[in-house]
Amino acid sequence: MPTLTATGPVHVLDFGADENRFAPPWLDEVHAHLDTVAAGKEPAALVTIGSGKYYSNGLDLDWLTSHPGDAGKYVAGIHDLFARVLALPVPTIAAVNGHAFGGGAMLAMAHDFRIMREDRGYFCFPEADLNLPFTPGMAALVQAKLTPAAAVASMTTGSRFGGPQAKALGLVDATAALDDLRTAAIDRVAPLAGKDRGTLGAIKSTMFGPALTALRETGN
Amino acid sequence: MPTLTATGPVHVLDFGADENRFAPPWLDEVHAHLDTVAAGKEPAALVTIGSGKYYSNGLDLDWLTSHPGDAGKYVAGIHDLFARVLALPVPTIAAVNGHAFGGGAMLAMAHDFRIMREDRGYFCFPEADLNLPFTPGMAALVQAKLTPAAAVASMTTGSRFGGPQAKALGLVDATAALDDLRTAAIDRVAPLAGKDRGTLGAIKSTMFGPALTALRETGN
Amino acid sequence: MPTLTATGPVHVLDFGADENRFAPPWLDEVHAHLDTVAAGKEPAALVTIGSGKYYSNGLDLDWLTSHPGDAGKYVAGIHDLFARVLALPVPTIAAVNGHAFGGGAMLAMAHDFRIMREDRGYFCFPEADLNLPFTPGMAALVQAKLTPAAAVASMTTGSRFGGPQAKALGLVDATAALDDLRTAAIDRVAPLAGKDRGTLGAIKSTMFGPALTALRETGN
């Protein structure tokens, strides 16, 4: 399950050591940790990371299959999570320690910055191969963070991108050796930790207004 | 006139050996070939290319001048073509074998990807020099595929970009020697040919919703 | 105070030798010079530059503090200036000779192109550190000219970017030694000076329609 630790002002949210799919209890834990990060007035920033082979594989399709009556509410909750991270009032960075697929890749895109392990793991939007078109909110989120060329190359192809490829395309801002990944992520956001939450939240809410609206239309 | 051939699952639409301007009979042929590509359920992808010095020079100004009463309908039809290619439910790539000017350059932009001959030919939006401002649909199409800096540099200047310059600016994704151009284009989309048409069409329609709306407002 | 000189068809608007903040008399002078540039039919282009350590430090906070009752009208006027430069019917380039902060950096972004002194001076949006969130118009202006990654890196961090960093991120299109800056800026737009004003104004107004609307909603 997700755990939250602190390195100075930087909160490190470790999604866990397995596939870190969005099971409802996992989502509840993540939201509780985000409550902790977003509250208060002391300097803060957020790093998210996984501790195994996966950053996150996204939607919990097993849970979804076994709870067909709850699909609408479940998908709305995922959109709420994306919207929350997109406008989180502290600086955020995803440390992509391994595979980030589908909703897991979208969650990484919702952060301000992304840094990815350089030697293993894939960043991938498999929607085109799974016959699961992006919802308008999901598409708006990803497109709000990518150049048009990167959006086409990643969203229409189902291609898997290793760290250097993901960096070259702009899916991530930087790469690092696995041993350095957590520290590099912390170093990126620690100098930004002193921003006023109200100001930073307002800036992100204005910048990503259309994507937030599209996410919340599904999320509510 | 345009001809359609197949290399495995990849349909190659050759626009012809002349300027490949959008004369009404040429447009009818292109639409008929797109019908062929879009129909069915077998794997498919689309390469467009010309066989002479031109990819396409765009609007047929001679025809337009001699049919002044049909200008509105003609321009609407061009917008329809752009919208159709932009959301075509198979992977698409423009192999820019030579000059792509005005509407010809826009047609290339409507594809998922672009690869351009490296040594000759120009990619150019001459609208600023022809006193023909982009329609809202045309501007939305081009801007949906370019970074803001590339859009300004190409859409406000009338500048002509050779292959390497077009690649550096992001107007095209890659360049190739003329002898390799067709094969390189086929190789880019052949691995993507198995996508479900309904899914890929939905993904593109969502990603490019605002541009499609702007094109269809003129196109209908 | 701002002065306007000409090098062939290129008008060079020098903002002055001090911080070049947007004091009301300074704004009136700038608008009068823009009237000169925008009028007539002869070929024209615009370079803006400062002659001291600053390009512009943006809003005149001293004036604003001493005229609290005029804040709304003053901020509306700033938005009007940004909108005017964004859609100016001649080619425009900002020659960023030194510091460009806040509104000064936004004014630079409103130009078609930006070239920055390579060795000194910072390009910076300090809004996140000043607890002054971007207005919707300001955010729309900046985002209309940057990739999403560059917008996040500059608009949410308050970071200061020297010339080479600003070039790497895409905040500016090029850098030059200070001695060459003015000439390099003139050389970039002089070949574009012959565009028809009506056409170029229409192209920019269409391309930047949403940002212009957002600016003018505040500006009127």
Cβ pair C175, C185 in contact under 8 A: no
The residues facing A10 across adjacent strands are A7, A45
Rounded to the nearest 5°, which phi and psi values hold at A16? 125, 180
Nearest partner of B122 among B155, B151, B99, judged by Cα? B99
> Quick check: B151 contacting A, CB < 8 Å?
no
Phi-psi region of B208 (alpha: psi -120 to 50; beta: other; left: phi over 0): alpha
B193: DSSP letter: T
The two tokens of residue C8 are: 């062939």
Q: Do C157 and A91 touch (CB under 8 A)?
A: yes
Give the distance from CA A188 to its chain's centroid.
16
| C128, C147, C151 ranked by CB distance to A200: nearest | C128
Distance of CA A192 to the CA centre of its chain: 19
Q: How far is the alpha carbon of A159 from chain B, nearest alpha carbon, in Å?
A: 9
User: Using the beta-carbon criterion (under 8 Å), do A206 and C134 form an inter-chain contact?
Assistant: yes
Q: Where are the domains of chain A?
A: 3-219
Q: Do B156 and C204 touch (CB under 8 A)?
A: yes
ipTM (interface predicted TM): 0.97
User: Are C211 and C140 within 8 A, CB to CB?
Assistant: yes
Touching A: C residues 152-171, CB under 8 Å: 152-153, 155-158
Q: Is the minimum CB–CB distance between A217 and chain C shorter than 8 Å?
A: no
C187 has a chain B CB within 8 A of its CB: no
Residues from chain B contacting residue C206 (CB–CB below 8 Å): 133-136, 139
Alpha helices in C58-177 (DSSP H): 61-66, 71-86, 103-110, 127-130, 136-143, 148-155, 163-169
User: Using the 8-state DSSP alphabet, how is residue C89 labeled?
Assistant: S
**Per-residue model confidence (pLDDT) at position B40:** 87
**Whole-number pLDDT of residue A219:** 55
pLDDT band at B52 (very low <50, low <70, confident <90, very high): very high
Indicate the pLDDT class of residue A218, thresholds 50, 70 and 90.
confident
- Picking from A128, A147, A153, the nearest residue to B195 by CB comes out as A128
Closest CA to A191 of C151, C194, C160, B28: C160
CB B35 within 8 A of CB B1: no
Instruction: Closest CB to A156: pick one of B112, B145, B196.
Output: B112
- The span from the CA of A32 to the CA of A36, in Å, is 7
Residues A2-49: tens digit of each pLDDT: 999 999 999 999 999 999 999 999 999 999 999 999 998 999 999 999
pLDDT, residue C163, reads: 98
**Interchain contact B63–C (C-beta under 8 A):** no
Contact B156 C91 (CB under 8 A): yes
Phi, psi of B5, rounded to the nearest 5 degrees: -130, 170
d(CA B49, CA B18): 12
Could you read off the pLDDT of C22-55 as tens digits, one per residue? 999 999 999 999 999 999 899 999 999 999 999 9
- Spatial CA neighbour of A22 closest among A98, A69, A80, A68: A80
How many angstroms separate the CA atoms of A207 and A141, rounded? 12
Written as six digits, the tokens of C31 are 């608008």
Mean pLDDT of B83-99: 98
- For residue C4, which of C34, C26, C27, C25 has the smallest C-alpha distance? C34
Yes or no, beta carbons of A155 and B203 under 8 Å apart: yes
The neighbours of chain B, by the rule of 3 or more Cβ pairs under 8 Å, are: A, C
Cβ-based contacts of A134 with chain B (< 8 Å):
203, 206-207
* pLDDT at site C219: 55
Q: Output the pLDDT for position A40.
A: 87
CB A147 within 8 Å of CB C147: yes
**pLDDT band of B219, cuts 50, 70, 90:** low
Q: What is the mean pLDDT of chain B?
A: 97
C158: left (phi over 0), alpha (psi -120 to 50) or beta: left
Does B47 have pLDDT greater than 70? yes
Query: Where does B3-219 sit in CATH, by number?
Result: 3.90.226.10
Using CB atoms, pick whichever of A91, A192, A206 lies closest to residue C133: A206
| pLDDT tens readout for residues A95-147 | 999 999 999 999 999 999 999 999 999 999 999 999 999 999 999 999 999 99
Identify all chain B residues contacting C173, using CB atoms and an 8 Å cutoff: 149, 153
Q: In angstroms, rounded to a whole number, what is the distance separating the alpha carbons of residues C2 and C16?
A: 5
* Other beta carbons within 10 Å of C31: 14
pLDDT of chain C along its 220 residues, tens only? Answer: 899 999 999 999 999 999 999 999 999 999 999 999 999 899 999 999 999 999 999 999 999 999 999 999 999 999 999 999 999 999 999 999 999 999 999 999 999 999 999 999 999 999 999 999 999 999 999 999 999 999 999 999 999 999 999 999 999 999 999 999 999 999 999 999 999 999 999 999 999 999 999 999 975 4
Which of chain C's residues have a Cβ under 8 Å away from the Cβ of B153?
A: 113, 173
- For residue B19, what pLDDT band results from cuts at 50, 70 and 90? very high
Hey, is the C-beta of C30 within 8 angstroms of any chain B C-beta?
Answer: no
Cβ–Cβ gap B113/A158 under 8 Å: no
Whole-angstrom Cα Rg for chain C: 16
* pLDDT above 70 (res A220): no
Q: Inform me whether the C-beta atom of residue A136 falls under 8 Å from chain B C-beta atoms.
A: yes
